Amino acid sequence: MQRKGPTIKTDRLHARFADLFGPQPDVCVRAPGRVNLIGEHTDYNDGFVLPIAMSQALRVAASRRDDRRLRVHTAAFDQAVELDLEDLGPPGEPKWANYVKGVAALLLAEGIDLPGADLLIDSEVPVGGGVSSSAALEVGVANALLVLADRRLDPVALALLCRRAEHEYAGSPCGIMDQFICVLAEEGHALLLDCRSQSFDQIPMNLPGTALVVMDTQVKHEIGASEYPVRQRQCRDGLAAIQSADPAVQSLRDVTSETLGRFVDRMDPVVVRRCCHVVTEIERTVAAADALRAGDADAFGRLMISSHASLRDEYEVSCAELDALVAIVCSVNGVHGARMTGGGFGGCAIALVDAGAVDALSQAVKRDYDTRHDAPALVYTTTPSAGAEAWADS
| 175 versus 337: smaller Cβ distance to ligand GLA | 175
Q: Minimum distance between the CB of residue 198 and ligand GLA, rounded to whole angstroms?
A: 13
| 17 versus 169: smaller Cβ distance to ligand GLA | 169
At 67, which amino acid appears?
D
Q: Minimum distance between the CB of residue 235 and ligand GLA, rounded to whole angstroms?
A: 11
Q: Minimum distance between the CB of residue 303 and ligand GLA, rounded to whole angstroms?
A: 15
Q: Minimum distance between the CB of residue 161 and ligand GLA, rounded to whole angstroms?
A: 15
Q: Minimum distance between the CB of residue 181 and ligand GLA, rounded to whole angstroms?
A: 10
* Phi (first) and psi of residue 39, to 5 degrees: 100, 65
Choose one: 79-87, 151-159, 174-182, 308-316; the region binding ligand GLA (CB under 6 A): 174-182
Using CB under 6 A as the binding criterion, the count of chain residues that bind ligand GLA stands at 12
Identify the CA nearest to 303 among candidates 261, 336, 330, 258.
336
* Rounded Cα gap, residues 202 and 193, in angstroms: 9
Identify the CA nearest to 113 among candidates 165, 68, 60.
68
| 44 is a contact residue toward ligand GLA (CB under 6 A) | yes
| 223 is a contact residue toward ligand GLA (CB under 6 A) | yes
| 174 versus 291: smaller Cβ distance to ligand GLA | 174
Q: Minimum distance between the CB of residue 294 and ligand GLA, rounded to whole angstroms?
A: 24
| 178 versus 314: smaller Cβ distance to ligand GLA | 178
| 282 is a contact residue toward ligand GLA (CB under 6 A) | no
Q: Minimum distance between the CB of residue 67 and ligand GLA, rounded to whole angstroms?
A: 35
Catalytic residue among 178, 216, 354, 393: 178
What are the contacts of 156-161 at 24+ separation with CB within 8 A? 156/180, 156/183, 156/184, 156/198, 158/1, 158/183, 159/183, 159/184, 161/103, 161/106, 161/107, 161/110
| 225 versus 355: smaller Cβ distance to ligand GLA | 225
Mask 4-43, x = binds ligand GLA (CB under 6 A)? --------------------------------x---xx-x
Member of 25, 126, 175, 384 binding ligand GLA (CB under 6 A)? 175
| 32 versus 175: smaller Cβ distance to ligand GLA | 175
| 177 is a contact residue toward ligand GLA (CB under 6 A) | yes
Q: Minimum distance between the CB of residue 247 and ligand GLA, rounded to whole angstroms?
A: 26
Is 178 designated active site?
A: yes
* Rounded Cα gap, residues 51 and 33, in angstroms: 10
| 95 versus 266: smaller Cβ distance to ligand GLA | 95
| 25 versus 175: smaller Cβ distance to ligand GLA | 175
Mask 321-360, x = binds ligand GLA (CB under 6 A)? ---------------------xx-----------------
Choose one: 16-24, 92-100, 169-177, 262-270; the region binding ligand GLA (CB under 6 A): 169-177
| 178 is a contact residue toward ligand GLA (CB under 6 A) | yes
* Catalytic (active-site) positions: 178
Instruction: Give the binding site for ligand GLA (CB under 6 A).
Output: 36, 40-41, 43-44, 174-175, 177-178, 223, 342-343
